């Protein structure tokens, strides 16, 4: 798994690539918790994820809950059909703001 | 070529047996193999992904709960084509699961844990756990495509 981060105004965009599973979800948790600091909105690009399991979903839920504690907006975008399916199977998609594109996710429109 | 064609030519049913350490580094290897296997048996792309995920979740549960993330436990995975189903048997010699926690998470819960067993039950047609001596066994089955379609 690889992650990269860049800021656009007071929005931080984190891109996740590769496999997110038991061996990598801990690392993702650290990255996301760190990325929540000092920004108004954190958006996660899921488009590069090849494989996601329930530990990856759990990590995203933990990051969402942490964002609520720090009053940081939190959104996901670019979900592939494979990733969407894991969200469907875990019945948690409704708790996230999900967008198709980065532009939408950064702007927060049409959630 | 799907399994029905392969079987009609060979008459041999598929069976593969894996032995692997409880090290998450091996999970992508097993996923790759299960994914290819399910594709050969004619499941759709979506079904292939779901079955692979369910097997992966079961292995992850063994690593996490039976062996508490120790990488030196032994896991066996047998994928076997039966009359109408593909059977996935996962065995380990770690701690027995806490029965009160299996599928204890409400499906619509926003809790971060406990999703793996729900995925297994949603994806597979059957999933049965038994403890035998010092070993845990999880048997999961998925109806083969030709059985579902009544071919």
Q: What is the 3-state secondary structure (H, E, C) of chain A?
A: CEEEEEEECCEEEEEEEEEECCCCHHHHHHHHHHHCCCCCEEEEEEEEEEEECHHHHHHHHHHHHHHHHCCCEEEEECCCHHHHHHHHHHCCHHHCEEECCHHHHHHCCCC
Among A86, A91, A78, smallest CA distance to A13 is for A78
For residues A71-89, average pLDDT: 96
A111 vs B: CB within 8 A: no
CB contact under 8 Å between A55 and B60, yes or no, is yes
CB contact under 8 Å between A54 and B57, yes or no, is yes
A82 vs B: CB within 8 A: yes
Instruction: Place B5 in a pLDDT band, splitting at 50, 70 and 90.
Output: low
Residue B63 near residue B97, CB atoms below 8 Å: no
Average pLDDT, whole number, for chain A? 95
CB contact under 8 Å between B60 and A22, yes or no, is yes
Would you state the structure tokens that stand for residue B106, as one six-digit string? 């409400």
For residues B23-31, average pLDDT: 96
Would you state the structure tokens that stand for residue A34, as one six-digit string? 């760190």
Q: What is the pLDDT of residues B79-103, one digit of tens each?
A: 999 999 999 999 999 999 876 666 5
Average pLDDT, whole number, for chain B? 88
Q: Could you report the predicted ipTM of this complex, rounded to two decimals? A: 0.88
Residue A95 near residue A89, CB atoms below 8 Å: no
Q: What is the pLDDT of residues A4-39, one digit of tens each?
A: 999 999 999 999 999 999 999 999 999 999 999 999
Instruction: Place B111 in a pLDDT band, splitting at 50, 70 and 90.
Output: low
Whole-model pTM: value is 0.89
């Amino acid at each position: 798994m690889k992650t990269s981060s860049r800021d656009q105004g007071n929005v931080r965009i984190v891109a996740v690539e590769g496999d997110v599973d038991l061996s990598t979800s801990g690392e993702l948790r650290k990255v996301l918790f760190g990325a929540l600091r000092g920004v108004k909105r954190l958006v996660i690009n899921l488009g590069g994820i090849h494989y996601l399991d329930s530990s990856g979903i759990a990590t995203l839920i933990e990051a969402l809950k942490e964002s609520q504690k720090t009053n940081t907006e939190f959104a996901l975008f670019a979900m592939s059909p494979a990733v969407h399916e894991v969200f469907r199977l875990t019945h948690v998609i409704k708790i996230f703001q999900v967008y198709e594109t980065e532009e939408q996710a950064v702007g927060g429109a049409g959630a | 070529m799907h399994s029905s064609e392969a079987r009609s030519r060979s008459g041999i049913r598929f069976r593969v047996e894996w032995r692997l350490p409880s090290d998450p580094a091996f999970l992508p290897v097993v996923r790759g193999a299960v994914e290819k296997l399910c594709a050969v048996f004619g499941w759709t792309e979506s079904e292939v992904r779901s079955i692979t995920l369910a097997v992966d979740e079961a292995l992850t549960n063994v690593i996490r709960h039976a062996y508490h993330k120790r990488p030196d436990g032994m896991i066996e995975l047998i994928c076997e084509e039966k009359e109408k189903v593909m059977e996935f048997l996962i065995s380990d010699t770690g701690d027995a699961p806490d029965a009160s926690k299996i599928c204890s998470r409400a499906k619509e819960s926003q809790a971060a844990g406990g999703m793996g067993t729900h995925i297994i039950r949603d994806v597979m047609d059957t999933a049965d756990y038994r403890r035998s001596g010092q070993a845990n066994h999880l048997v999961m089955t998925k109806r083969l495509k030709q059985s579902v379609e009544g071919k």
